[in-house]
A = this chain, B = another copy of it.
Amino acid sequence: MSPQETNQFPNNTEVPEIVIARLPQYLRVLHTISDSGIDVISSLQLGKQMQVTPTQIRKDLSHIGRFGKQGKGYNVGYLATELQRVLGLNKNWHVCLIGIGRLGRAILNYPGFAPEGFQIKAAFDIDTAVIGQTIGGLTIQPIDDLKDDISKHNIKIGITAVPSNMTQKVVELLTSYGITSILNYAPMYPQVQPHIKVRNVDPVLALQSMTYYLNRPTNGAEV
């Protein structure tokens, strides 16, 4: 396949969402591999490093294109670039944050978003005691500015860090202004239309899904 072919969608079937969710993980590992000076890697080696089967890597990648060379493997830099392109990570995304409580402040100060191309351009609250404060270089605004700021700053992603009982309302506000991607930190899962993507960050739920196994007799410990 010649490089100038536009092959962003090699077939007309949907890429399974579970595959999409794995691509950023591949990308991240490719970056560390690239940093260590390795130029070419096989699905076998990559799979060993990630503890996934090489077949899964090849099958996943086959959903979005053909990036490898038989007998060789994948060019690390090229594959990373292609994954970034497919995932839309070759540009910056503008994000807004709703809810400047304890958690919201931590998010504003979290240094992990910007280097990955996610820039928090505006932050909102309803509490007049918070509005006007400057945190992490951003001045907190009243929620009424949300609509205008979304278009002004070309914001495509919303982060919600408001109390559970307000989250559904805030999510509906965001989607009514055209936001289709939401990262939700509240411990409840807002209901949205199918074309809206929500990812929930929920450490308590993660803990609660492990205690089940702490209760069992230690199966597999004989390994």
Report A's interface with B, CB cutoff 8 A. Answer: 20-21, 23-25, 27-28, 32, 50-51, 86-89, 93, 95, 102-103, 106, 109-113, 116, 118, 156-157, 180-181, 183, 187-189, 191, 193-195, 197, 199, 201, 203-215, 218-221, 223
Contact = CB atoms under 8 A, between A and B. Distances in A.
Given A118-B204, A194-B223, A204-B118, A181 B28 contact: no
Contacts of A195: 218-221, 223
5 contacts: A24-B209, A25-B205, A87-B208, A112-B204, A157-B214
A18 to B, nearest CB: 10
Q: When A and B form their complex, which 9 residue pairs have the shortest distance between CB atoms, in order from nearest?
A: A195-B220, A199-B206, A24-B208, A88-B215, A88-B211, A181-B210, A106-B106, A21-B209, A197-B210
| Residue of A111, A208, A215, A220 with highest tally of chain B CB at under 10 A | A208
A163 to B, nearest CB: 11
A102 B221 CA distance: 35
A9 B188 CA distance: 29
Given A106-B106, A116-B204, A208-B27, A214 B20 contact: no
Contacts of A223: 193-195
A203 B183 CA distance: 8
A96 to B, nearest CB: 13
| Residue of A103, A204, A218 with highest tally of chain B CB at under 10 A | A204
A187 B28 contact: yes
A50 to B, nearest CB: 7
B86 A28 contact: no
